[in-house]
Structure 1
Amino acid sequence: MHDERKRQQKRKEECECFNPCRENQFLKTISHRNWPSEEYLDTLKEGVCFNIQNKCFDASLYDNEDVQTQSMDYVKVDIFYEDLNYERIMETPEIENAQFMSDVGGAVGLWIGFSVLSFFELVQLLVECIKHALTCRCFRN
């Protein structure tokens, strides 16, 4: 048991994710019913006396007791998994590094393209204004 706790602690230290790498949840549900039934009680007493003869009780002591009192001397425990389901939660990046660089490169390229176009449009506007000013001067003279 102690070794298992050491292994679990080591796994926790090696885990580099935000959510637990491994988590076991065991939900408990308790249910019961009266056992053994009246029909099965005699068979059960015979089986117990046959298997454990040196520690067997005197069956005659129970003759006067009711079935409910006698059944309080026995217990049957069944332990089982409620569900055999496994859930795997994996974390993956929304966008990979290559895709991120591609998106940034595309945005920068678009920005530079608009900037270059805007620069040449301003140069063209300036040239048009100078041309217009020169043609207007020529007509005045």
Structure 2
Amino acid sequence: MDLILWRHAEAEEGRTGLADLDRALTRRGEEQAKWMGAWLSRRLPDDTLVLCSPALRCQQTALRFERGFKLLEALAPGQSAASLMEAAQWPSAQRPVLVVGHQPTLGEAVAKLLRMQGSSCYIRKGAAWWLQSRDRGNGVQQAIVWAVQSPETARD
């Protein structure tokens, strides 16, 4: 299985009276999402399942992949890495899954899947981590890193 974890691009800081879920991308964030969306589109098959946090900044990021996506509360800010992996059906999904979400949940999922020391790793805004599951035999699944891509290096 291919699992691609894409952190939303740069978003505006919280303003008084603005709910966290309503924070939009900045102009720079729009550019980051455009670059990464194009990079992912060139590499992922058409049947990729795209799962997205209901936060506006994630939806705006996912739109740059230019394919449909499904909003899931299980990917909202503050949700667990376990809920993310369950939503993505790791490691048994039959097609690639692209998750557009938040820190620290994405970093916690990476740390858990790669058995890193510590409970999380940092994922830059707009960056994507591409993981694959590999069957090591005897029912043991291992996650490997296929690619780590920042939006700036994804530019055409």
TM score, norm. by length of structure 2: 0.19
TM score, norm. by length of structure 1: 0.21
Q: Which has the higher strand share?
A: 2
Q: Which has the larger radius of gyration?
A: 1
Structure having greater relative contact order (Cα 8 Å, sep ≥ 6): 2
